[in-house]
Structure 1
């Protein structure tokens, strides 16, 4: 089964590029099948990782950024693949 973990954060005012760079530097213990990083208006950063694992498996996730880098708590979601074609 493929499980996708989504991590989304909104940067504090004017710190979007810094949050993006922080997210790109984060290393995870173990290697996902795939990892992509996105940015969006309002200084939002999204990281999606794909894993070959059961839905409820313990998987490494990006942490909360330290200090005042974000304007709100990180949002996290977990999804399972239902259609490979």
Structure 2
């Protein structure tokens, strides 16, 4: 089974590049099958990691950045892949 972990944070005003750089520097204790970073309007940064694991498996996740780098707490979601189509 493939599980996708989504990590999303909203940067403090004008600090989205700094938040994106911070997220890209974060090392996980295990290597995911795939890892991709995104940015969106309103200074949002999203990181998705894909894992060959059960939906309820214990998996490493990105931590919370320093509070001054964000406008709110990180949002996290976990999804089970249902395949293409």
Specify the TM-score bucket, using the shorter chain as the normaliser.
over 0.9
Deviations 1:58-85 (A, max 9, x none): 0000000013100000000000011246
SS of corresponding position for 2:63:
coil
5+ residue gaps, structure 1, are none
Inter-partner Cα distance in structure 2 for 1:60 and 1:70: 21
- What does 1:2-81 align with in structure 2 at a 5 Å threshold? 2-81=2-81
Aligned residues between the structures: 85
Structure 2: 5+ residue stretches without partners: none
Q: Using the alignment, how far apart are the partners of 1:6 and 1:12 within structure 2?
A: 20
| Root-mean-square deviation (Å) | 1.0
The more displaced of 44-53 and 66-75 is: 66-75
Runs (4+) off by over 2 Å: none
What TM-score comes out, normalization by structure 1 length? 0.96
